[in-house]
Amino acid sequence: MFHDPMSYSKKPLIGIIMGSSSDSKIMHSAAVILDEFGIKHEDQIVSAHRTPTRLSDYARYAEKEGFKVIIAGAGGSAHLPGMIASHTVIPVIGVPIMVYNDKANSERFKFSAFGGLDSLLSISEMPTGSPVVTVGVNKAANAGLYAVKILGNEFADLRRKLGKYKELQHKSVLKESEEMKKLGLTKFTSKKFKK
């Protein structure tokens, strides 16, 4: 099927949602990747627990809008990705978030009790029949990249850009390795991490 190679940059084909504004600090990495590839996305807050009716409304809306992928991030008991997947046939990529509350006045209460394992298991352990593809804890950038790969099945132009992205990664590792070889590990580390 023929697709205008740039149609992914005009109309949002990807919906990014998150359970709380506090998730935006992590979720924005998915947006950064999509922006890098010139992919238009629409971003919203939908809470599975605080706005349960909005969740089913959003699933209908996403289908009406013709979204091809939904990236959903949530922390703690993290029902958002799974519940959205239950309401739609659109593929859902879940981002488990390690809840971090910067307003807590003690370090002890800044992080969720299970450090992201709670959300990882809530999102990945969906029952057979209602899958959510799950990335690592706080790995929103990977969710963005995976969404680009899904769109790449339809847009040859994106497949080319993904190839280029891989090439750049390769070159950047070689460059760092050359520097490490030249400086030696001790100097390399203190330069890189400014010890």
> What's at 93, amino acid-wise?
I
Does residue 20 bind ligand RP5 (CB under 6 A)?
yes
Near ligand RP5 by CB under 6 A, which window of 20-28, 63-71, 169-177, 182-190? 20-28
What's the closest the beta carbon of residue 195 comes to ligand RP5, in angstroms? 33
- Which of 8, 13, 23, 96 is in the footprint of ligand RP5 by CB under 6 A? 23
Does residue 122 bind ligand RP5 (CB under 6 A)?
no
Does residue 94 bind ligand RP5 (CB under 6 A)?
no
- In the structure encoding, which two tokens stand for residue 54, read together? 């909005």
Q: Got the DSSP string for 113-148?
A: TTTTHHHHHHHH-PPTTS--EE--TT-HHHHHHHHH
Residue 72 carries which DSSP code? E
* 31/50 Cα distance (integer angstroms): 24
What's the closest the beta carbon of residue 1 comes to ligand RP5, in angstroms? 37
Residue 105 carries which DSSP code? S
Does residue 13 bind ligand RP5 (CB under 6 A)?
no
**What letters, b where the CB count within 10 A reaches 16 and e where it falls short, cover 84-108?**
bbbbbebbbbbbbbbbbeeeeeeee
- Which of 8, 12, 16, 75 is in the footprint of ligand RP5 by CB under 6 A? 75
How far, CA to CA in Å, does 127 sit from each of 2, 51, 82?
36, 23, 9
Does residue 51 bind ligand RP5 (CB under 6 A)?
no
Near ligand RP5 by CB under 6 A, which window of 33-41, 71-79, 132-140, 168-176? 71-79
Does residue 96 bind ligand RP5 (CB under 6 A)?
no
Does residue 76 bind ligand RP5 (CB under 6 A)?
yes
Beta carbons within 8 Å of 181's beta carbon, 6+ residues apart: none
- Which of 19, 81, 82, 144 is in the footprint of ligand RP5 by CB under 6 A? 19
What's the closest the beta carbon of residue 177 comes to ligand RP5, in angstroms? 37
Interface with ligand RP5 (CB under 6 A): 19-20, 22-23, 47, 49, 74-76, 97, 99
